[in-house]
Structure 1
Amino acid sequence: MSPEIEPGSGNSDNNVSISSAIANVTSAKVDQYDIRIKALEQKLEKLEREKNKKCSPTTFLDTWDMASLIMEKARETALKVPNDSQCQTTCRPGKKGPEGSKGDIGSPGQNGATGRQGAKGEGGTPCNCSRYDELAHKVQILEQKARELQPLADGWYRVPSYPYWYKLVKVPSDYRTARKNCERMGGRLAATGIRNPTIRSDLLDKFIRRTETPIWIGLDDLGKRDNWKWSDRVSSTSSNTPWGKDEPDGPDQRCACMHNYLEYQIADVLCIYKYFYLCEK
């Protein structure tokens, strides 16, 4: 009777070739994602360079279209980049152990003794998922930067080094209408930046002075007479409100604007006047 032999693990040559193929495919995927991310980064850098230039509304829309495309591609890449657990499963497995020894020949009519267990196989190639993590991080940065370009499509301007966006609406409106329109756009009549000398100066130079008209801002005493409040609910004081000389000066003038006759210092005027207005968000 033939001796009982415990099956061993067999020849590992075929396993080595399969493992190498897996490793090659994994490496190629990483390189492919890396190339795509670099291309997206280059496009985004070009948009960043264009961001502070004087652009027409059409250019703003083109810019946002490109930013939206970058964001879409970034999300698509993020879905395809393997996570850490997926990375672990693609790493090359260890080699199988050698074939077990033959069992002893048993007595006639009986099975032979069980063969000895094969030796433990060699360890597989350690996984290195750092490149996947790096790609995922790049995708997050790309998506965030692309999203930040969205306000440009609507004509908003961001003061350099400050987290505020501004839009000058050149449609003559009374104070209450201007306030509601700013709120519809997710903002308010400008307040925080008007109190900041650096931001105020930048806005004046950028587009307010060239209008040569009064501009509504977010300041009024509609809640309580002579209790002036900014649209962000900060109380007006002599130190945070650049009033013009002798302003405020009218009991019925309960809304504030930056007035061209006062070199764009603040004046109180009737709320029914129709001026351009400055939104902030």
Structure 2
Amino acid sequence: MGLLASFILTFLCVVECCAQEHRSNISIMTMSPEIEPGSGNSDNNISLSSEIENVTSTKIDQYDIRIKALEQKLEEIEREKVKKCSPTSFLDTWDMASLIMEKARETAINAPNDSQCQTTCRPGKKGTEGAKGDIGSPGQNGATGRQGAKGESGTPCNCSRYDELARKVQILGEKARELQPLADGWYRVPSYPYWYKLFRVSSSYQTARKNCELMGGRLAANGIRNPTIRSDLLDTFIRRTGTSIWIGLDDLEKQDNWKWSDGVSSTSSNTPWGEGEPNGPTETCGCMWSTLQYRLADIRCNYQTFYLCEK
């Protein structure tokens, strides 16, 4: 019995020692500090934020350079137009400006907008958790825990340069649309909003009127009533033709009730008739008559001559 008792005591000691070692391991694992949510290498975060900002600024600077190039080309077109050169001489400059504008538009589209800009900003770190409140008495809520510390502020978002870039592209697009008729051979008297194109194709009044309307315009009216515009058009290309020119004036709706193509009623003050005009009951359409120094005359509407469109 003595030998059996010794064996049992030895076995129990071994079991107890193993149990103590296991409890020690559990204690060590339990006491290990948890990794705080939101913590990390702040230096890496700052470096990443700076890199994003540098790339963004570089791209916007590239967009600005392209837009400035377009602005210079559009200014060049305006200067050439003021010189009253032939519209065809602008085509090369226009094509170059259009290409630059298209590139600027593409880069602007690819530039982050406000919502995309927000996603590139680094969020702030999560604040530490507040201490637990005391347990309340049964049936009542416990006391409110203390508020946790305020988390670190995130990187501020500044999308103002994207907004400025978009505004520049919009303005340039509007300028380009204003100059588009120039590439199509239209002419604009400086400081006036109307465009004019002389068609050197002999046509009747009705055909001429229809063709102008198909191009989004009308037979010239406002520019003929305005002495400044009329004088400029005469000097620029009308007198060079040596022939009469259809303009937008007729009394087709009611005899002797002359109206311009834009709906304005004809009066002695706004209609530069030639001497003795109008003078024919069967002549119901008006034109700039060459033998009257391009003052207006009424003639038959089926007369074939050149015509001037306005838009």
Please indicate, yes or no, whether the TM-score normalized by the shorter chain is above 0.5.
yes
Distance in 2 between residues matched to 1:205 and 1:124, nearest whole Å: 67
Cα drift, residue 152 of structure 1? 1.4
Question: How does 1:130-279 map onto structure 2 within 5 Å?
Answer: 130-279=160-309
The answer on 1:5 being equivalent to 2:33 is yes
Question: How does 1:38-117 map onto structure 2 within 5 Å?
Answer: 38-56=68-86, 58-94=88-124
Q: RMSD across aligned C-alpha pairs, in angstroms? A: 2.6
Distance in 2 between residues matched to 1:198 and 1:58, nearest whole Å: 24
Aligned-partner SS, 2:275: coil
Higher relative contact order (CA 8 A, sep 6+): 1
Cα drift, residue 142 of structure 1? 1.4
Cα drift, residue 230 of structure 1? 0.9
Cα drift, residue 237 of structure 1? 1.3
Cα drift, residue 58 of structure 1? 4.7
More moved, 195-204 vs 59-68: 59-68
More helix by share: 2
What are the superposed Cα offsets for residues 66-95 of structure 1, whole Å, 9 maximum, x if unpaired?
343234223212211221222222234445
Contact 2:201 2:305 in 1 (8 A): yes
Contact 1:67 1:147 in 2 (8 A): no
Unpaired segments of 5 or more residues in structure 1?
102-115
What are the superposed Cα offsets for residues 41-75 of structure 1, whole Å, 9 maximum, x if unpaired?
22322222233445556534434433432342232
Question: What corresponds to 1:125 in structure 2?
Answer: 155
Contact 2:87 2:186 in 1 (8 A): no
Distance in 2 between residues matched to 1:156 and 1:11, nearest whole Å: 64
Contact 2:203 2:303 in 1 (8 A): yes
Aligned-partner SS, 2:249: strand
Contact 1:216 1:278 in 2 (8 A): yes
Aligned-partner SS, 1:273: coil
Q: How many residues align?
A: 268
Question: What corresponds to 1:109 in structure 2?
Answer: none
Contact 1:217 1:258 in 2 (8 A): yes
Larger Rg: 2
Q: What's the TM-score, normalizing by structure 1?
A: 0.85
